[in-house]
Amino acid sequence: MKFPEFQQKVHEEIDQVIGTDRHPRLEDRKAMPFTDAVIHETQRFGNIVPLNLPHATTADTNFRGYFIPKGTRVIPLLTSVLYDKTQKRDAFMPFSAGRRACAGESLAKAELFLFFSTLMQRFRFQPPPGVTDLPLTAIVGITSSPTPYKLCAVLR
């Protein structure tokens, strides 16, 4: 909705790979790099949970000139990782940072792809008549949520 040219590209990729005669399948994801990238960027930008679970250092550590004693509680701020303009990595970690991965990550990624590609296969999303701009600011608390707005889902 905010970037209709990206939505159009996703529609084109879906039409080319899946068509309209069948539902999206997990196997389609490999042939849909642009759609996958849009999902990743949406997750990065959306950043629903800005803080990770608390961890503790397992040994005395020096980090960027700071001494951190063994056993110190550390709460990673994922927002700082996701919005760091100096780091543009191909690897995107929406489910955590560090060695421990989310147990449901592969299931969540699969479901996200299926839901998103199915919705995009069937609908074009646009602002309601008379609305020219959509807010991208979040309401921040323990979690981040989008500023409420209305949208139109138009059958393709």
CATH code for the domain in which residue 133 is found: 1.10.630.10
Q: Looking at the whole model, is its pTM more than 0.75?
A: no
pLDDT by residue (tens digit) across 90-120?
555 555 555 555 667 788 889 999 999 999 9
| Structural domain containing residue 64 | 4-155
- pLDDT band for position 25 (50/70/90)? very high
Instruction: Judge whether 140 and 58 are in contact, CB under 8 Å.
Output: no
Per the structure, the count of domains in the chain is 1
pLDDT by residue (tens digit) across 8-17?
999 999 999 9
Non-local (6+) Cβ contacts of 13 within 8 A are 32, 34, 35
User: What residues are paired with 63 via a beta bridge?
Assistant: 66
Q: What is the CA 26 to chain-centroid distance, rounded?
A: 18
* Average pLDDT over all residues of the chain: 85
Instruction: Judge whether 121 and 14 are in contact, CB under 8 Å.
Output: yes
Q: Rg of the Cα trace of the chain?
A: 19
Which amino acid is residue 35, in one-letter code? T
Residue 102 assigned ligand-binding role: yes
Residue 65 in this model has a pLDDT that exceeds 60? yes
Supply the pLDDT for residue 38: 94
Residue 80 in this model has a pLDDT that exceeds 70? no
Supply the pLDDT for residue 74: 86
Residue 76 in this model has a pLDDT that exceeds 80? no
